[in-house]
Each structure stands twice: as structure tokens, then as C-alpha cells.
Chain A
Amino acid sequence: MSAAVEIGSPTRVQVPVQPVADCSHCGLPVPSARLEPLSKDQFCCDGCRSVFAILHSAGLADYYAQRDPNDAGAVVPQRSQRKFEELDEPAFRDRHCQAGPGGVLRSEFFVEGVHCSACVWLLERLPRVTPAVLEARYDLTRSVLQLAWDPSSAPLSEVARALDSLGYTPHPTHATSLAAEQRKGDRALLLRLGIAGAAAGNVMLMALALYSGKYAGMAAEYAEFFRYGSLAIATPAIFWAGNVFFRGGLAALRTRTPHMDLPVSLGLLAGYLGSAHNVLRGEGEVYFDSLCTLIFLLLVGRYLQRTHQRRSAKASDLLNALAPTTACLVEGESSREVPASALVAGSVIEIRVGERIAVDGVISQGRSALDTSLLTGESFPEEVSVGDRVHAGTTNLSAPLLVRVESVGGETRLGRLMHSVEATQRERAPIVRLADRVAGYFVLAILAVAALTLSIWWSLDASHAIDHTVALLVVTCPCALGMATPLAVSAALRAAARSGVLFKGGEFIEELARPGIIVFDKTGTLTEGRLALVAWSGDQTIQSHVRAAEATSGHPIARAFQRSLAESDLSCSERQEYPGGVIARVDGHDVLVGSQSFVRASLASLPLWAVTQAQAHAAAGRTPVLIALDGEVRAIAAFADTIRADAAASLKQLAELGFQFEVLSGDDQRVVDSVVRELGVPLLKATGGASPEAKLASITSLRASGQRVFMVGDGVNDAAGMAAANVGIAVHGGAEACLSAADVFTTRPGLETVALAALGSKRTMRVIRIGIGLSLAYNLLGIALAVTGRLDPLWAAVLMPLSSISVVTAALRARTFTGSATS
């Protein structure tokens, strides 16, 4: 914006063209206009300069030495410039801070922008930048900075501003009770894992002695001693570490749903009781080593899946934390920043340009344009003035507004929508996983074979009948089957995350592997979600005037001009923005840029060519903008939300996988039709003008008709539909509310990742099937040995790990989400 001024400034003349300097902070090239010939340190922007200064004055210049030289360098600091006054409210302190000894308070923040070890180093030296902070510890796994600070020496807002000035924007954490709950679960599982591992190792040593004794001979009292020893160790491992399986098995019985835990519990229980019985009566086989190893391996699978699922969940939590939580409350002449939850109906808040509105209310002063795309999917801004209703979640674009609050939080339209999302999610039937479906048949088959073995051996040799049946139940205990799915899923989750697809749970991989109908949102999903200049007719020479007039505005049309037209060196002396257009004085000319009605209101008449062209653009779903110079219409620019470059190719890929498509948009039907025409992919249906509630109804009725429905979207208006679909997919850049409703979200722009998600899911399911097939094959071998009475504990001890290892190898070596999306 001020580049034009600086290029003309006298320093520019003295600067030699060579050498080009790199920014002393971030390492990016310094624009020539910013080069300072006499200085040792060069900066690409003011953000870098101020961070550099802060680091040096605090004696933290070592930051630059800590940085990985192969890394692209520090990220250019992006400061939110917020004042963080809401952190000083007593209500906030009560909720988010914990008191420690000596008046020290502890609080936690999500911190954005931490990407390397030097960032961690710098964050943990925050006490040198702000003496009020006594201690700072960063947790990379959770992206959380834990602070201990002294409230008597500085308010928390100052600490937050210090973090912000370094380029790490802090966000108060919420839902801490949930996080604590999860941490407790993680620790409990890890503890079980440790105990099962220790027991398995020790029992294995004794089993080894017993096996050797069996072949080489061993005095009876030693054998007896080892058998009692392994019973003593295996008992806590099976009933404490393994009680997750018993509990799961019981729940499966009670709800009559098949679950993997059922056959596992059966094998564990039969193996333990049979072995314990044999120890007590002093003869027969014992299987404690196999049972302990089984529990250990199964818990490893569970632990891995849990951690990988947590990573995706963490990313969505972090985004949740970024929702606007403050508002600028106006009281008489003064205004201050308060938490949005402190607002009541009737209070007046100021909404500055570019701000997201946090409440529902009525405009009491001001005229502006609102970006409502988040809520309605409408791509063009809505003009509003005094008396109009505004909704939470919309963004103010052109002028400050005063809004009288009517409802806040859960009472707003956004809040009610989110409430319906939650309700829909709660009611959704859980997905029965493939492994669990297999487990249902498996348990029946095993019980049948066990009964058969028992009855046959009872008639042949009653003294060994029980032993052979126990051996059968132990060897068929589906260790590999129970590991095949969790391991394949956790490997796939990790690979998917690396290629930009985050699944919130493994079950969604299974859902997405089978084709169905994909319902796409239009704005921001199929299209870029922002207006772009697509046609210009008339006088080309006035483009630089338009560019200068629109250089500083945040209006979507102005932004599109800024992106598409070359930077202008004309100066804009006067500029007034109205809803519908802008009037400016550029280079001695009056420039008028605006909608047809705005220009008509300002000029006496419009030329016929302009009117017909504007109508033609409007009919084709484009937004016409008229440009007049000194009272005469000279050109027409047309704007449209362009289709994503990879949309058509990605849809074709999905079609090859057997998916069908539908478009369901909140935008005008004409715009939807033109996008569909341009896309050139056959669709089942394309509907425009759908409200969020209509989207939900449409998805629900599709599902009721027995279809498998996937919803891909990016806005709050899609959230309810996503929650109702079999799988909801949020594309990159989606609204926070939409991400929390989605089951899958992508972290790279474009639709290619959606195609990759479907393809990768299909590949993952193939891996899971191979794993299940392998483990069933091992089980058949085990059954054959057990039924014929040839299976002794040594065979069981060899077969079990062997089957697990082959399944693990198959699961981990498979390429699922890696590589290109083309199969």
C-alpha cells in the first residue's frame, strides 16, 4: 500500500542493486525498497525487525544459532495486534488460572506457529522477555504453553501481548476437563501396557525353562515351582491389565453387538482357568506365556491407534480454540474488550472492519456490507444498514457498525445450528467395524468347533478332552485378528495425516472405503470461495485508476481487483466507501466503481451497452461491476467465484471409484447452474438456495432412502448436514464449527485430498482384509492341530507371535495414503 511512496523516496536512489540481502530474522529475501545500505541487519518487514530487536534486547540472540540451518527459516511473524484485555477480566482468571504457592498463577495457552526446536527454545525463555513470567514450559504434543506468572508485577494481557509480539499468537485453552479426562485414559492404558509387558517377559522366561525341561528332563519340584511362579505373575496381568477385554466382552454380550473383545475374552478366560486348574492338580499343560503375550500385543495395537487418533483430534481442538471469543463493548463514550460470554441482551457493541461478529443483534448505527458466506454459503456480500439483523459468524467488511445485542452464545442462530449438529451427532448409530463383524461369526464358529472337539475326545480319551479343548481355545484366541485392524488403521491414520487428510477415527476409513453419494457444497468447496475478476470489457487504460481506488479496501470486490490488476503508481487523494460501491479521486479524475444500481443512483443515465452487458453477466451467474470515470461509464468488470483447479479431475477420480455426486448450495440457483456447467462432471442433482436447515433435511432424507451419503463442505451452513451424513468431510480453510462437525478434514487446499481420502480408505480396507485373512489362516492351522490333539503349549507359543508378526508386517508395510492419488 505504501510501496508507491517508498519507491519514490530518496533512499531508494542510493541503494546498489547488488547484493540482494536476506532478512536477518526470517531469512527471506529483503525487498529492494526496504534495503538499508548502512545497516548490518536487514529486514523484510516491520514484524521481523521488531522480533529481532526484542530478542537482542532480552539477550536471546542465541535463537538464531538454535535454528536448523536446513529449515526454510523462521516464519515471518504474524502478529494479531490484539490487546488481549479480556484476559484481565476476573471471570477469565477464575476459569483459566490456577493459584500456586506465593501468589503465583498458572495458566495454559494454545500457541500457534510453533514449528521447530528453536521456537520451543524461545518460548521457554519467555521470562527474559517479560519478567512477570516466572516459568514457561511448552508441550509439543498438545501445542500448549504452560505459564507460571506473577499477577502482582504485570497483568496476563501483557504476557499475551509479549507472546504475540514474538509472532506466537496465544489462545486460552478451553475444555480442559475433557483434556484431563483423555490424559487419564492415556496414562491408564500405558500402565496396563507396561504391566502386561513385564508379566509377559517374566512368564516367558519361566516357560522357556519349562519347555527345555520337557525335552531335557527336569526334576518335578522345579517344574512345579515354575508353574506356580507363572500362575502368580500371570494372574494380575490377565485380570488387571486384561480387564479391558473382559469389560468390552461383557458390554458386547449385554448389548448383543458383535465385538472383537468377545472372542478374546473367551480365549483368555478358558486358557487361564484351564492352566490354573492344571497347575493346582499338578499335571497337564499351561499356557500362561501365550496369554500374557497376547494381552501385551493387543494393548500395543490399542495404544498406537489411540495416540494417532488423538493427533487428529488435537488439530481440530486447536482450531476450535480460535473461535472469536471477545467483543468490543461500548459504554457511553468509552469502549473496552470483553469476553463474548459477558455480553447480555441490550448491550451495544462495536464491530470494526474485518471483524467476525460474535452475537445476534440489530444494527443501531452504521451501514456496511457483511460476508455471510460462513452461515449461508452466499458468495456475494450482503448490504446492511440501521435496523437490519446481523448474525453471529458473519464478518463485517466495509465500515464500522454499532450493534444492539439480542442474543449471545447458544441462543444465536449459529449457536442453535451447532446445537442441532451436536444432537445429530449424538443420535448417529455407531459404525460396526469390519473386524467386529468378523468377530461375531468367529465366536460362533469357535464355540462350535470347541464343542465338537470336546465331544469327540470325550468318547476317545476322556482324560485329555479338557486339555485339548483348552488348547483349541487358546490358539484360536484372535490375537492377529485383534491387531490387524488397529495397526493397519493407525498406520493409515499417520500416512493420511502426512498427506493432508485427518481422520477423527479409524471407523471413518471403513465408511469411506465403500462408495455412495457425495454431496458437495459449492462456495469454498467446489469453488475457491472468493471472488475473482473473470472478464473486463471496455476501456483497458483506466485499470490503474481502479486499482489505486481499491488499493486499501477489504471488500471482496476490492480484494479481487488487488489480486488481478497490476499495482498502480497513481495516487488516490480522496476515497469514500458506500454499500454498493466506492467513489474516489485518483490522479485528478473522479472514479466511480460499483454495482449497477449504485452507479445509476450516482449518474444521470447508463449507456445501453453497459446495461445489456451487465444483464448478460448476471444471467451467467457472474457479478457485474460498473466503472465510471468523470461521470461516464467506461468499462464493466465481471466477478465470479472460480472453480478450484483440481475440482474436475478429483471428481473424475472419485467417479472412477464408484461415487456419485450431488451439489447442495446456499447460493443462488443461477450461480450453481453455471458452476455445474463449467465443471462438466455428471451430477445427480444440483440444488441452490438451500438453507442450513434444508441441507440437513436433504441429507437425512437421502440416508432414509437407504443411500450411503458423504457430505463435503467448508461452512457452518454445512455442519448440520455433515453431522447427519455417513461421513462429513471439511475441506481446508473451513470454519471452526464445520471442522468440529466433520469426521474427516483436509489440511491442504483443493479437492485432491478428498479423492485421496477415498482412495486411501479403499486401500486401507484391502490391507485390513489381508490381515484378517492371514490371521484366519493361522487359526485354521491351529484348529487342525488342536482338534487332532497335536497342539502342545510350545506350538501355541510359536504360532501366536508368528501370526502376529506377519499381520503387523503386512499392516505397516502397506502403502495406503502415500504417493499420488492415482492408483
Chain B
Amino acid sequence: MSIIFLILPVTLFLSAGAVIAFAWATRSGQFDDLETPAIRLLHEERACAKPAPGPPVSGPPPAV
């Protein structure tokens, strides 16, 4: 049973990791918009019959 003295701190360490991840996600705005990404997920990029004349959608992911 004395393993509990080891397991409990390990568990707390893991949950601290989760809390830090959550803090990062909140601070970087991952939870600011909870509606649009849900919709964006459903957009499939199919090959277009006519290729786009301009440059393709490019650029890094937004640092919002």
C-alpha cells in the first residue's frame, strides 16, 4: 500500500501537466471561437473542375 506515496505525487504531476496545457490553450485563444472550427471541419477540399487562377490558399496557420 505504501506505493500510494509514490502514485499520488505522480498523478498530481500528470494533472499539473493537463492544467498547464489548458492554461496554454486558453491564453493562446484556442477557446475564443467555439463555433467556426466546428463548421470548418466539415468543409472538404475537393479537386476543383477548374483550377484557381490565383495562388493557392497559402500562408502559415493564423497566430490569432
* Chain A residues, Cβ within 8 Å of B42: 117
Chain B residues, Cβ within 8 Å of A229 = 8, 12
Q: Is the CB of B33 within 8 A of A140?
A: yes
Q: Are A58 and B12 in contact (CB under 8 A)?
A: no
Residues of A within 8 A of B54 (CB): 58, 127-131
List CB contacts (< 8 Å) of B29-64 with chain A: 29, 31-36, 39-40, 42-43, 46, 48-55, 57-59, 62, 64
Pairwise interchain contact B34-A141, C-beta atoms closer than 8 A: yes
Q: Is B10 an interface residue (CB 8 A)?
A: no
Q: Is B55 a contact partner of A139 (Cβ separation < 8 A)?
A: no
On chain A, the residues within 8 Å of B22 by CB distance are 191, 194-195, 198
For chain B residues 1-40, which have a beta carbon within 8 Å of chain A? Answer: 1, 4-5, 8, 11-12, 15, 18-19, 22-23, 26-27, 29, 31-36, 39-40
Q: Is the CB of A187 within 8 A of B43?
A: no
The answer to whether A128 touches B57 (Cβ under 8 A) is yes
Given the complex, which residues of B lie within 8 Å of A194, measured CB to CB? 19, 22-23, 26
Q: Does A426 contact B (CB under 8 A)?
A: no
Among A59, A127, A219, contact of B50 (Cβ-Cβ < 8 Å): A59
Known: A140-B36, A225-B5. A195 touches B31 (CB 8 A): no
Residue in contact with B53 in the complex, picked from A58, A62, A65, A233, CB distance below 8 Å: A58
Within 8 Å of chain B (Cβ to Cβ): is A646? Answer: no
In the bound assembly, the distance between CA atoms of A628 and B64 in angstroms comes to 65
When A120-B40, A140-B39 are in contact, do A191 and B27 touch as well, CB less than 8 Å? yes
Q: By the criterion CB–CB under 8 Å, are B33 and A142 in contact?
A: yes
- A218 nearest CB neighbor, chain B only: B1
Q: Are B62 and A134 in contact (CB under 8 A)?
A: no
Known contacts: A194-B22, A194-B23. The answer to whether A137 contacts B64 by CB under 8 A is yes
In the complex, chain A residues whose CB is within 8 Å of the CB of B53: 57-59, 128, 131
Taking CB atoms and an 8 Å cut-off, the chain A residues in 163-192 that contact chain B are 183, 186-187, 190-191
A222 within 8 A of B: yes
Set of chain B residues within 8 Å of A65, measured between Cβ atoms: 46
Specify which chain B residues have a CB less than 8 angstroms from the CB of A186 in the assembled complex: 32
User: Is A784's CB within 8 Å of the partner chain B?
Assistant: no
The residue that B40 contacts in the complex, of A124, A222, A233, with Cβ under 8 A, is: A124
Contact of B26 among A125, A191, A198 (CB under 8 A): A191
Whether B19 and A195, one on each chain, are in contact in the complex, defined by CB atoms closer than 8 angstroms, is: yes
The secondary-structure label for the interface of chain B is loop
Q: What are the residues of chain A within 8 A of B46 when measuring CB–CB?
A: 62, 65
Known contacts A127-B54, A198-B18: A146-B39 contact under CB 8 Å: no
Whether a CB of chain B sits under 8 angstroms from the CB of A138 is: yes
A498 CB to closest chain B CB (Å) equals 16
Please measure, in the bound complex, the distance between the C-alpha atom of A501 and the C-alpha atom of B40, giving whole angstroms: 29
Of B18, B43, B57, the contact of A66 (CB 8 Å cutoff)? B43
> Could you say which residues of chain B place their CB within 8 Å of the CB of A419?
none
CB neighbours of B50 from chain A (8 A): 56, 59, 61
Alpha-carbon distance between A121 and B36 when the two chains are bound, in angstroms = 10
The answer to whether A127 and B43 touch (CB under 8 A), given A58-B52, A142-B33, A198-B18, is no
A148 at the interface (CB under 8 A from B): yes
Q: Which residues from 207 to 252 on chain A have a C-beta closer than 8 Å to any C-beta of chain B? A: 219, 222, 225-226, 229, 232-233
Bound CA–CA A478/B53 (angstroms): 64
User: Would you call B1 and A222 a contact (CB within 8 A)?
Assistant: yes
Q: Contact partner of A62 among B34, B48, B51, B59, CB < 8 A?
A: B48
Query: CB distance A135 to B58 under 8 Å?
Result: yes
Chain B residue nearest to A121 (CB atoms) is: B43
Nearest chain-B residue to A139 (Cβ)?
A: B33
Residues of B near A233 (CB, < 8 A) are 12
Residue from B19, B34, B51, B64 whose CB has the most chain A CB atoms within 10 Å: B19
Across the interface, A131 reaches (CB within 8 A) one of B39, B40, B48, B55, namely B55
A298 to B32, CA, bound (A): 21
Q: How far is the CA of A56 from the CA of B46 in the complex (A)?
A: 15
A/B interface sample: 9 pairs, CB < 8 A: A62-B46, A120-B36, A127-B57, A128-B53, A148-B62, A183-B29, A187-B26, A195-B23, A225-B4
Ordered nearest first, which 6 A-B pairs have the shortest CB separation? Answer: A131-B54, A140-B35, A117-B39, A59-B48, A135-B59, A140-B36
